[in-house]
Amino acid sequence: MRISTNQYIVAFIASFFMLSSCEKGEKLSSFQEFARLSISGLDPNLIVYCNDIAVNLPHIPAGNVNISLVNRSTGEKVFEKGYEIVGEQTLYYFQDQLLTNPQDTMGKIEGTIQVRLANFSDKISDESKPIHLVFQQELGIDWDLFMNIYAEHSDTVYNVESSFGEEYSKLKVVESPETNNIYRARAKVLNEDKSPLKVDGKEVYLIFVAGSSNASIFTSYIPEDLMLSSDDLVISSAEAWVGLPILPNLFEN
């Protein structure tokens, strides 16, 4: 069979592109698997990059990918992190971070709640210094003394900083008929050196309330606009309570 000059040229071009498109030893894939990624609350001024390539959500390459956010106006990269994205997944944009939903990767642990915390209030500590929070669960009220009753057991969450870490801390849940299965606790604020934070000589407490009796995994934070002054505190004989102390929950499971 005779082969024309044109057929030689076509065969040469096809061979050239096959050789130049993959490195030595690399296997050619006949298809690319994709996942669906949505980002809740994303700032419209940010461009999403996947493996350094700008993408239009929700379709991105599946597997281990590097997600970064770039400011559209300045070109500055404001966030970068690796994720394993398969199937369909949602990330949450908050305070220049992309947070995973704990439901995607974690299971409930009987007798505990799990919390991931951050501190955005420079009234409690500046960005360079972590704080510690000592949690005591509220078990009810002594109506004779008109005082809250707290569990003797306490759990300390160490090194709460100005961004969310990867780890969740475990807080023991004590069953009590007066709590209606909702976890409510006070959290004593400690400075970086573990000394109590004080205002007007009084120790400062925050209040944490789990928003649902079925929830056990929380991402929560101390808000940026939290104020610590005599006008914003309810001062008792021994303690200072923040006037608007309930820590908001970004999402819970």
Determine how many CB atoms are found less than 10 A away from the CB of residue 99.
19
Tell me the two tokens of residue 237. Answer: 């004989």
Of the ranges 63-67, 77-81, 98-102, 238-242, which one carries the lowest mean pLDDT score?
Answer: 238-242
Average pLDDT value for residue range 72-95? 89
What residue segments make up the domains of the chain, in order of their start? 34-100, 103-252
CATH architecture of 103-252: Sandwich (2.60)
∠ CA 19-22-28, nearest 5°, is 105
C-alpha to C-alpha distances, 230 to 227, 240, 241, 245, nearest whole angstrom: 9, 9, 10, 14
Helix (H, G, I), strand (E, B) or coil at 151: coil
Q: Which of 26-35, 69-78, 206-215 has the highest mean pLDDT?
A: 69-78
List, for residues 112-130, the tens digit of each pLDDT value.
888 888 888 887 877 678 9
- pTM value is 0.70
Task: Select the more confidently predicted residue: 31 or 106.
Answer: 106
Pair 218, 135: CB distance under 8 Å: no
Task: Select the more confidently predicted residue: 228 or 178.
Answer: 178
Gap between the Cα atoms of 216 and 114, Å rounded: 6
Average pLDDT value for residue range 83-99? 86
Does residue 132 surpass a pLDDT of 50?
yes
